[in-house]
Amino acid sequence: MYVIKKDGTHEKWNVQKVVVAINKSAYRALVKFTPEELDAVCKEVEDTANKLQQEGIHIYEMHNIVEAALERVKPEVAKSYRDYRNYKQDFVKMLDEVYKKSQSIMYIGDKENSNTDSALVSTKRSLVFNQLNKELYQKFFMTTEELQACRDGYIYVHDMSARRDTMNCCLFDVTKVLKDGFEMGNLWYNEPKTLDVAFDVIGDIVLSAASQQYGGFTVPSVDLILEPYAEKSYAKFYERYLSMGLSPEIAAKEAHADVLVNFEQGFQGWEYKFNTVASSRGDYPFITMTFGTGTGRFAKLASITMLNVRKNGQGKKHCKKPVLFPKLVFLYDENLHGVGKESEDVFEAGISCSAKSMYPDWLSLTGEGYVSDMYKNHGAIISPMGCRAFLSPWFEKGGMTQADEEDKPVFVGRFNIGAVSLHLPMIYARAKHESRDFYDVLDYYLELIRGLHIRTYAYLGEMRASTNPLAYCEGGFYGGHLGINEKIKPLLKTATASFGITALQELQELHNSKSLVEDGQFAIEVLEHINKRIAEYKEADGNLYAIYGTPAESLCGLQVTQFRAKYGIIENVSDRAYVSNSFHCHVTEELTPIQKQDLEKRFWDLSNGGKIQYVKYPIAYNEEAIRSLIRRAMEMGFYEGVNLSLAYCDDCGHQELEMETCPACGSSNLTKIDRMNGYLSYSRVKGDTRLNEAKMAEIAERKSM
């Protein structure tokens, strides 16, 4: 018996070629055949081929025989075999899509991610590669059901271009990497002995490690990280001034002044570096710094100086404006930052900074809710990863559950493996269109996302530590002291995977034609149902799943397009260019900041994997209003953002809120900064915007956000 190849040539039958082919397919599906399974497939293939009683069997017939045998013995490999079998035809289609996207990127640009400058050659190259990686992900990772759900718009897989390569947002343990030195890029870095060197080295660590992942990269409690290096510099300066014959009092004063200069220059250097050096992905890494709980003299000085540097801005002497990165998050403890408390001065510096630059955002450690409970009960700070993602608890001894009263939760050094979001209004519309129970349809899509997450854990677990040495080998991640050739699977047990939710406002409207302001009960019930299901999945799968209030950027417009294609234009659901972000009230609602805080509080504890609350301040730079509302938000346990629409004239330096043309010089050469979702971005720079049309339409209609 022989096989007739595609070119008509004959090749002697050899069952070993079947073994090689199906082993390759198994490897791509991240499974392995047992000897018994291999024997079963080979026997069935040979028996079926012999039953044909043909001297020659065409290759396409042989493929069908092998595929049928795999379906009976190892169905998960059958899909991988089928996909690879058709790869030539599929690759032609994929490359055509990549080519069309590359032409668009080359000549038009791309505004899917506001952190990218698609005018740059390096960014264009990265975006083209990302498109190819996205196509490969869809072809070789997703099932037919998942792909259909994604293309129709019922679910959205975030960051397809990177999910096969690496993990998502993280709380990077800079302290552990620095301790006693580390290796980076085949060079050994000694632990810094002074503050200025610490700034340089930390900057290198952050840029290098952030390039090996996607999503937010948070350096938690940066004031506490810098404090010991400031002490070392102070001691060095102090001894030098004493050796020059100065009195101890003057030496101390001069040494303190030198440390302050180091802080100012260091934070300014970070602002330059993090806003101008793009990562290997072509974007500016989404870097966040949290701070505020340090009470030592240099920890407080670090916090206050960082805030002052941000408030004063960068640029020409007469045209300074705040930068976007790093995002600053103030860790608020009522016992430290309350009226008359020892760190009220740090709080006041934060208020002054927020009034001028919108940052810092404010995270309550002592109010109500999950984040505050972890801090009050265990002294553990859950810093946000990027703009809003929060980790589920993981205990040192007990893992998902606390083993005993001594068992402590760990957050620093952990990460997320990705988010997949539900399009709730579309799921609701499908249920009604097909006369099915909404929760049954919702459960179907929750199961699809669950399956994606399970395979992602398994797939990433096969990665080697060499893919991100600072994280996996040098201690940046919890347990990250692996050898470069070891698999990272042991580290994934502490990682979270997110189920995202968007457009609760539109879901409520679709349900009973009422907004979240008018009602909201159904939206709450849906979130409660999702929480219940995810708790069941966590128990069954042993994975740390979390519910995430999705910060829809380009997604806010895509979901409208997808909804209209299936269900048309429905008033207050799909009649605008955008859908609402996560559980927020509609941006067009005429609400006071206090009303908005109260209304959104209902959803707060139902989205513990990712959330932020923000209100718009219609008054220009009013510190008293900001102070009052921030303190109120901190009592409520919020992660709170201050929203202003900042505008700066790049010709004369004039600045005010909401201007379109400079009233001082008449120039339209403005830089405008608006809140994208949980983070800030340029809504206008040099006459253009980095934001997509749907998000710009939303910004134009904002009243309460």
State pLDDT tens for residues 523-565. 999 999 999 999 999 999 999 999 999 988 889 999 999 999 9
| pLDDT surpassing 60 at residue 109 | no
| pLDDT surpassing 80 at residue 95 | no
Type of residue at 585: C
Contact 656/83 with Cβ under 8 angstroms? no
| pLDDT surpassing 90 at residue 98 | no
Strand partners, 288: 218, 327
DSSP per-residue string spanning 543-596:
-EEEEEE---SSHHHHHHHHHHHHH---TTTTSSS----TTPPPTTS---HHHH
pLDDT digits (tens, 9 = 90+) for 463-491: 999 999 999 999 999 999 999 999 999 99
Strand partners, 420: 157, 499
| pLDDT surpassing 70 at residue 583 | yes
| pLDDT surpassing 80 at residue 111 | no
Q: Which residue has the tokens 């791509």?
A: 28
Contact 467/211 with Cβ under 8 angstroms? no
pLDDT score, position 158 = 94
| pLDDT surpassing 70 at residue 435 | yes
Residue scoring higher pLDDT (136 or 298): 298
pLDDT digits (tens, 9 = 90+) for 152-173: 999 999 999 888 888 999 999 9
3-state secondary structure of 496: strand
Q: How many CB atoms lie within 10 A of CB 622?
A: 14
| pLDDT surpassing 60 at residue 500 | yes
pLDDT score, position 387 = 87
Q: How confident is the model at residue 120 (pLDDT cuts 50, 70, 90)?
A: low
Q: Which residue has the tokens 């060499």?
A: 466
Rounded to an integer, the average pLDDT of 387-393 is 94
pLDDT digits (tens, 9 = 90+) for 247-272: 999 999 999 999 999 999 999 999 99
pLDDT digits (tens, 9 = 90+) for 597-626: 999 999 999 999 999 999 887 665 689 999
Nearest to 443 by CA among 454, 434, 433, 431: 431
pLDDT score, position 88 = 59
pLDDT score, position 667 = 93
Pair of tokens at residue 590: 């005429």
Distance (Å, rounded) from C-alpha 294 to C-alpha 297?
Answer: 8
pLDDT score, position 209 = 93
Q: How confident is the model at residue 92 (pLDDT cuts 50, 70, 90)?
A: low
Long-range contacts of 653-660 (CB under 8 A, 24+ apart): 653/316, 653/318, 653/319, 653/320, 655/321, 656/620, 657/620, 657/621
pLDDT score, position 619 = 62
Residue scoring higher pLDDT (86 or 500): 500
pLDDT > 70 fraction of the chain, expressed in percent and rounded: 92
Q: How confident is the model at residue 108 (pLDDT cuts 50, 70, 90)?
A: low
Pair of tokens at residue 398: 């007990």
Rounded to an integer, the average pLDDT of 23-37 is 84
Distance (Å, rounded) from C-alpha 175 to C-alpha 187?
Answer: 19
pLDDT score, position 110 = 56
Q: How confident is the model at residue 280 (pLDDT cuts 50, 70, 90)?
A: low
Rounded to an integer, the average pLDDT of 683-695 is 81
- Report the DSSP pairing between strands 639-643 and 361-364: antiparallel
pLDDT digits (tens, 9 = 90+) for 283-336: 678 899 999 999 999 999 999 999 999 999 999 888 999 999 999 999 999 999
pLDDT score, position 107 = 55
Name, in order, each residue with C-beta under 8 angstroms of 504's C-beta and a sequence gap of 6 or more.
424, 516, 523, 526, 527, 580, 582, 583, 603
pLDDT score, position 122 = 61
Out of 69-83, 442-456, 536-550, which region has the weakest mean confidence (pLDDT)?
A: 69-83
User: What is the spatial order of strands in the sheet that 361-364 belongs to?
Assistant: 170-171, 216-219, 286-291, 327-332, 361-364, 639-643, 613-616
Instruction: Tell whether omega for the bond before 35 is within 30 degrees of 0, i.e. cis.
Output: no
Average pLDDT, the chain: 91
Q: How confident is the model at residue 279 (pLDDT cuts 50, 70, 90)?
A: low
pLDDT score, position 30 = 74
